[in-house]
């Protein structure tokens, strides 16, 4: 990926170990463009579906993630800092500087590296489709504004652009993490 764009790199990271998801996603995009049912575009035979099975696997577990989640949700009084949603099951303690790029001792479990977001805005934030600036105002990428997504979803995210997030009563997001997100993750 030495000559690839940032977007190509993100897509590669998302799908490199899940080719089935990539194939399905491409068929879903094609169905949307052609205004056709995905079952037709993907040649899905509903009478001959593959079995859905479980398998055991070894997984990496994030140690300290529970502490981070508790500290971030507590700081934001269990409310999404963008929408105000207050349902714990829909809230995510989102890392501003991603876990994989964060220092083990000083950044990964640091609550100043977190935002309390609802699941949709967390995914948009992780994918660099939204960010915040140092004044805690929401930024929306041009890619999201002009991408092929439904208008309701697009409008619900874009409508928050320029608005200030609700800041936490403790553990204010550190400007170093915000700067990192804007430079390395946000798609501007």
Rounded CA-CA distance 39/16 in Å is: 24
**What pTM value is reported for the model?**
0.71
Rounded CA-CA distance 18/76 in Å is: 34
Read off the pLDDT of residues 120-157 as tens digits, 9 standing for 90 and up: 999 999 999 999 999 999 999 998 888 767 888 878 88
Read off the pLDDT of residues 33-85 as tens digits, 9 standing for 90 and up: 777 776 665 666 667 776 777 777 776 666 767 889 999 999 999 999 999 99
């Amino acid at each position: 990926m030495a000559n690839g764009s940032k977007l190509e790199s993100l897509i590669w990271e998302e799908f490199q170990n899940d080719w089935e998801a990539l194939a399905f996603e491409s068929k879903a995009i094609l169905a949307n463009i052609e205004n056709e049912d995905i079952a037709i575009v993907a040649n899905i035979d509903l009478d001959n579906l593959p079995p859905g099975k479980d398998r055991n696997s070894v997984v990496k577990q994030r140690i300290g993630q529970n502490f981070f989640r508790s500290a971030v949700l507590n700081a934001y009084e269990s409310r999404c800092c963008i929408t105000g949603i207050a349902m714990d099951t829909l809230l995510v303690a989102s890392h501003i500087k991603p876990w994989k790029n964060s220092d083990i001792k000083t950044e990964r479990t640091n609550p100043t590296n977190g935002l309390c977001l609802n699941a949709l805005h967390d995914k948009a934030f992780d994918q660099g489709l939204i960010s915040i600036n140092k004044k805690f105002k929401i930024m929306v990428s041009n890619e999201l504004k002009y991408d092929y997504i439904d208008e309701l979803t697009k409008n619900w995210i874009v409508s928050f652009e320029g608005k200030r997030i609700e800041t936490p009563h403790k553990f204010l997001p550190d400007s170093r993490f915000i700067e990192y997100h804007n430079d390395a993750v946000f798609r501007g």
